[in-house]
Structure 1
Amino acid sequence: MDFLLVTIGSLIAAIGFNAMFLPNHIVAGGMSGLAVALEKLCSWQPDYFLYGSNIPLLILSWVFLGKENFAKTLYGSWIFPVFITITKQIGSFTDNQLLGAIFGGVIVGFGIGLVYYGDSSTGGTGVLVQIIGKFTPISLGAAIILTDGMVVLTGLIAFDHETVMYSLIALFIVSRVVDFVAMGLNNAKNVMIISQKSEEVQQYLMDEISRGVTKLRVTGGFGNEEKEMLMCVVDGGEYPVLQRNILAIDPEAFVIVMPASEVLGRGFSLWKHYVHEDHVGALRK
């Protein structure tokens, strides 16, 4: 699945690059942005430049991100230039630089977001973004702005200041879309439930949808009455059914739902462990 995401994402990003960024001289950061400037200054082919420039960055990927990530990054850094070569004849979607920056940012950002969601990158400064994301609390979008902002400024050498302004617009859009795709695809919900029938609700959560439950002791602010709150993390697709069934158990249940941008553990980042119905009672004892 990760390699499939990297392949699809690289193809989408390559289309956005050749159809929007390159013909409109949008230097939206990264080695691909630098390739746009060098294509103008030195007539270097962007795909060939990307092949060569990834070598030292792949070494960093091996050292800091591990062998598994290196394998996927090696694949991404190879397949992205290949798709740029394949799609270079696609032609420009627009000659308007503003439209190229906006829609190119959306297309490229969506593609790169899929690649990052596949725990990889297209090489280039994407490796640096992953290293920053792994060792610091900085989000993917902010890391892109930090690493690629300097690349955008190189556009001043090859192009006029207005082109650089459009490039900054594109860079901002790319970073926002990457954050949305890479984090938004994880649509897990953190559900907190206060109910007079908490035991029945807990049994439903554990037996019917096989999700773990955490019990929290809470105190009401009005009557200082102690109650029990259940906390459970579910997939976004599971929540509508969960909501209906909880309210069927207790129509007066108080339910709080919050997005969980990242969930690690069994059932999410690890395989879900299903307990056979006959063993549920024994396990509880």
Structure 2
Amino acid sequence: MNKIFLNLLLVSTGSFIAAIGFNTMFLENNITSGGMVGLSVSFHALWGWNPSTFLLLINIPLLILCLLFLGKENFAKTLYGSWIYPICIKLTSGLPTITENPLLAAVFGGVIVGIGLGLVFWGNSSTGGTGIITQILHKYTPLSLALAMTLIDGFSVAMGFTVFDADTVMYSIIALTIISYTVYIMEVGVSSARNMMIVSPKYREIQDYISSQLDRGVSAIPITGGYTGKEQVMLMTTISSREVFRFEKSIQEIDPTAFIIITPATHVIGRGFSLTKHYQIADEDLILPM
């Protein structure tokens, strides 16, 4: 019950935030940021249609398609979000437009709407609309989810060419990009960690440095050189981004010829990151203390 309440709270809060961004940034600046919401901006400019009414009505056939093609579970997850978002747009329709600069509207509106949609996704729901069509295309065609979403949202943005000038449509593309990136950041988090892989004949000295000086855990992985066929050891560790410079400099002092690979660690869970460090090995602990 607590989980359901939390999800409803996230969806409601996210919808309200996204609606604020839509009404104060997008609507009067003609930013068609993809999806049915983007179409509602075009139809508002063409015929004066109320965006919230349009979204409520268009979601009825889309929800029927969701039930028929995606099943009851997806229908249940989408139902509340597809209803509450248009309601929030209606409730916030009286808010003033914050800026008349379309670039500022695209950038800041994209962040606000992206945060709102990210909260909706955290609540295990969606705002319906073209997201339903995207899921159907992904399920019943060879199209990937990303490609299906790009095609559907791209069509919505392209509709802006029939109503607005090219500059306005390009601002809409900026807004769509920022929304997508903001939602992505909220899903995976802003990575501040780096995964390090080191190949060096002085791996023992480097391993000691990582353990004692950096105070990080390290794994020694046996590898075979593809060209020489020689058995070697590759060290792997994960450190925070602020430690990278010191790490590189110290490793090169130990072995100037060390082969080092540094990659972003999108999501890190474990001691030293999401858990507090401790230095006692538990009987059934698969992770060495850091």
Alignment TM class, shorter chain as reference: 0.5 to 0.7
Counterpart AA for 2:184: A
Aligned residue runs from structure 1 range 162-241, under 5 A: 162=165, 165-183=167-185, 185=189, 187=191, 189-194=194-199, 196-197=203-204, 215-219=221-225, 226-231=231-236
Given that 1:114 and 1:182 are in contact with CA atoms closer than 8 Å, whether structure 2 keeps it comes out as: no
Q: Which amino acid aligns with 1:277?
A: I
Q: Which residue of 2 aligns with 1:107?
A: 112
Specify the SS of the correspondent of 2:89.
helix
Deviation at 1:124, TM superposition (A): 0.5
Q: Is the 8 A contact 1:65 1:131 kept in 2?
A: yes
Q: How big is each residue's C-alpha offset from its partner over 1:249-283, in whole Å with a ceiling of 9 and x where there is no partner?
A: 9x8486533124579xx97xxxx9xxx93414899
Q: Which moved more, 1:191-200 or 1:96-105?
A: 191-200
SS at match of 2:283: helix
Structure 1 residue 83: deviation in Å? Answer: 1.6
Where 2:264 maps in the other structure, the secondary structure is: strand
Contact 2:37 2:51 survives alignment (8 Å):
yes
Q: Residue 74 of structure 1 is aligned with which of 68, 71, 79?
A: 79
Partner amino acid, structure 1, of 2:189? L
C-alpha displacement at 1:147, in angstroms? 0.8
1:19 Cα offset (Å): 0.6
**Structure 2 counterpart SS, 1:92:** coil
Is the counterpart of residue 126 in structure 1 residue 128 in structure 2? no
Cα-to-partner distance string for 1:164-196 (whole Å, 9 max, x where unaligned): 531332234323441353155263654434472
TM-score, scaled relative to structure 2: 0.66
One-letter identity of the residue aligned with 1:279:
D
Partner Cα distance (2:138, 2:205) in 1: 39
Q: Secondary structure at the match of 1:44?
A: coil
Deviations 1:128-162 (A, max 9, x none): 345567774463xx6544212222343455x3x42
Which whole-Å deviations, capped at 9, do the CAs of 1:79-116 have from their partners, x for residues lacking one?
A: 21122122111111122344333433343234334444
Give, in whole Å, the separation in 2 of the partners of 1:283 and 1:95: 54
Mapped partners of 1:124, 1:278: distance in 2: 50
Matches within 5 A, 1:51-62: 51-62=56-67
Distance 1:58-1:244 versus aligned 2 partners, 3 A rule: farther
Question: Does the 8 Å CA contact 2:20/2:89 hold for their aligned counterparts?
Answer: yes
Where does residue 15 of structure 2 map in the other structure?
10
Seen in structure 2, the aligned counterparts of structure 1 residues 243 and 46 have a Cα distance that, compared at 3 Å, is same
Give, in whole Å, the separation in 2 of the partners of 1:283 and 1:28.
45
Report the Cα distance in structure 2 between the residues aligned to 1:282 and 1:20, rounded to whole angstroms. 50
Aligned amino acid, residue 283 of structure 2: H
The question of 1:19 aligning with 2:21 is answered: no
Go from structure 1 to structure 2 and tell me whether the alpha carbon gap of 1:117 and 1:278 turns closer, same or farther (over 3 Å shift). closer
TM-score, scaled relative to structure 1 = 0.67
Please name the residue that 2:281 is paired with. Answer: 277
Structure 2, unaligned runs of 5 or more: 1-5
Inter-partner Cα distance in structure 2 for 1:2 and 1:213:
39
Shift of 1:67: 4.8
Q: CA 1:5/1:257 → structure 2, altered by over 3 Å: closer, same or farther?
A: farther
Aligned length: 266
Aligned partner of 2:100 among 77, 95, 98: 95
Does the Cα contact within 8 Å between 1:145 and 1:175 map onto a contact in 2? no
Distance 1:53 1:99 in 2: 29
Distance between the aligned counterparts of 2:32 and 2:107, measured in 1? Answer: 13
Q: Give 1:242 shift.
A: 11
